Amino acid sequence: MAFDQDAVRRTAHLARIALPQEEVPAVAGQLEKIMALVEELRAIPTEGVIPMAHPLDLEQALRPDLVANQDARQRLMANAPAAEHGLFLVPKVIE
């Protein structure tokens, strides 16, 4: 799969990474190599192999539905850059 410069810019945008234009060709080249490796892996016949979602052969443990956390808002919000009336403040996001 080709990883051209458009794909690099799009991926960077989706990940909210500010990628300077001059770095795009180099990153495209690097990602192209990674994709080549993925292509190699894709060529391996995997028919009849059960897809593995997790490397550990374990099951998800379940937790009983009991409230375990007390209000710790003040402590949890202590490192928020901006907060008011118990709300986190962020730049306006309405469309």
Binding site for other proteins (CB under 8 A): 13-14, 16, 51, 53-54, 56, 58-69, 71-73, 76-77, 82, 84-95
One-letter amino acid identity for 46? Answer: T
Going by C-alpha positions, the residue among 81, 54, 71 that lies closest to residue 89 is 81
Closest CB to other proteins among residues 42, 73: 73
- Residue 35 Cβ vs other proteins, minimum distance, rounded to whole Å: 15
Phi then psi for 42, rounded to 5 degrees? Answer: -65, -20
Q: Which helix (H) or strand (E) holds 83?
A: strand 83-84
- Residue 30 Cβ vs other proteins, minimum distance, rounded to whole Å: 18
